[in-house]
């Protein structure tokens, strides 16, 4: 089994890179990656832990892109951690995430007030957050305040307002950055209605056109194996990948125990899914 999509506390996960690598070791994964949102901050720790624990590891990240006025995520695999152009671009994006975070807290507070609950302090949260701020941090704060008992209800009830990404990469720029850093680019959870093609591509023809548009900009693959996809979706995107000669990738999108999602090794992704990425990265 493999897992090529997890998050540490350096973005919006709850576990350290070493803890994630330890999970991969315990699950006997044959290939593992941490792909934090818009940052490479935890990858050096992860690489060192993977070397020490003899876990096959791919340095990765997940870039936020503006796709037809909606945000989507591009996974970058096999990146050079010291590539300055990428690191500088990430600083720009990280400031944008902080601006967006304040707006997300404001909208969450409107819903909290409507339910006669308290308000969150965006600046206080930003000071507490160790990694890149995101909606999971807000949901966890709502639970910590006792306004909801569990993460998922807090997320679904108070964080449903869509906010356009005012500071996000254009797909071509993100793909170029990933390639220049020595990596390959794969579209994350394409079937997702929340963060994927499902926001604007409703038919097979529209999905194919969207994928071809990204391929023309250099995209290498798509994430087919993900808990965000039903069995039917997985079969559809496998067919799309074969038809359009795209690498298939897969991962749990694990953010930690509170996220109500399968942990690495629980959602089974077969070793064969890694064949394309291993070949492309010459592993």
As a whole number of angstroms, the distance between CA 255 and CA 251 comes to: 11
Same domain, 146 and 180: no
Is 112 inside any structural domain?
Answer: yes
Is 44 inside any structural domain?
Answer: yes
SS3 state of residue 283: coil
Same domain, 217 and 129: no
30: containing domain: 2-92+171-280
Tell me the whole-structure pTM to 2 decimals: 0.88
Q: Which two tokens stand for residue 6?
A: 């997890």
Same domain, 81 and 101: no
CA distances from residue 88 to 38, 81, 93 in whole angstroms, order as listed: 11, 12, 9
The structural domain count of the chain equals 2
Smallest CA-to-CA distance from 64 within 156, 233, 193, 196 is with: 196
Is 165 inside any structural domain?
Answer: no
The CATH number of the domain holding residue 62 is 3.20.20.140
Per-residue pLDDT of the chain (283 residues; tens, 9 = 90+): 999 999 999 998 999 999 999 999 999 999 999 999 999 999 999 999 999 999 999 999 999 999 988 889 999 999 999 999 999 999 998 888 888 899 999 999 999 999 999 999 999 999 998 888 888 899 999 999 999 999 889 998 998 876 666 778 999 999 999 999 999 999 999 999 888 898 888 899 999 999 999 999 999 999 999 999 999 999 999 999 999 999 999 999 999 987 778 999 999 999 999 999 999 998 8
Is 166 inside any structural domain?
Answer: no
Alpha helices, H only, the chain: 17-26, 43-53, 84-114, 122-128, 135-144, 151-158, 171-180, 204-216, 231-244, 275-280
User: DSSP assignment of 185-222, as one string?
Assistant: EEESSTT-SSSSGGGT--SHHHHHHHHHHHHHTT--EE
Same domain, 129 and 81: no
Q: Which two tokens stand for residue 139?
A: 């949901």
As a whole number of angstroms, the distance between CA 29 and CA 18 comes to: 15
Same domain, 256 and 122: no
Smallest CA-to-CA distance from 90 within 58, 109, 114, 63 is with: 63
As a whole number of angstroms, the distance between CA 70 and CA 200 comes to: 8
As a whole number of angstroms, the distance between CA 278 and CA 178 comes to: 16
Is 40 inside any structural domain?
Answer: yes
């Amino acid at each position: 089994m493999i897992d090529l999509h997890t998050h540490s506390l350096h973005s919006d996960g709850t576990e350290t890179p070493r803890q994630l690598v330890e999970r991969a070791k315990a699950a006997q994964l044959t290939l593992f990656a941490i792909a934090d949102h818009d940052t490479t901050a935890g990858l050096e720790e992860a690489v060192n832990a993977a070397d020490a624990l003899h876990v096959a590891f791919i340095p990765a990240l997940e870039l936020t892109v503006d796709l037809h006025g909606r945000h989507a995520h591009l996974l970058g695999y096999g990146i050079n951690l010291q590539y300055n152009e990428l690191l500088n671009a990430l600083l720009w994006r990280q400031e944008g995430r902080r601006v967006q975070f304040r707006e997300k807290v404001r909208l969450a507070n409107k819903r909290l007030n409507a339910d006669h609950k308290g308000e969150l302090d965006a600046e206080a949260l930003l000071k507490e957050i160790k990694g890149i701020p995101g909606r999971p941090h807000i949901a966890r704060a709502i639970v910590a305040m006792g306004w909801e008992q569990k993460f998922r209800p807090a997320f679904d009830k108070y964080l449903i307002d869509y906010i356009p990404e005012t500071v996000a990469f254009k797909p071509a720029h993100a793909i170029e950055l990933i390639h220049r850093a020595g990596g390959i680019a794969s579209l994350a959870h394409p079937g997702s209605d929340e963060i994927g093609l499902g926001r604007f591509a409703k038919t097979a023809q529209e999905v194919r056109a969207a994928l071809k548009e990204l391929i023309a900009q250099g995209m290498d693959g798509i994430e087919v194996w993900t808990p965000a996809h039903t069995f039917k979706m997985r079969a559809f995107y496998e067919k799309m990948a074969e038809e359009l000669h795209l690498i298939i990738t897969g991962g749990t999108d694990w953010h930690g125990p509170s996220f109500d999602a399968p942990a690495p090794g629980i959602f089974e992704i077969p070793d064969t899914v890694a064949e394309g990425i291993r070949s492309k990265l010459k592993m």
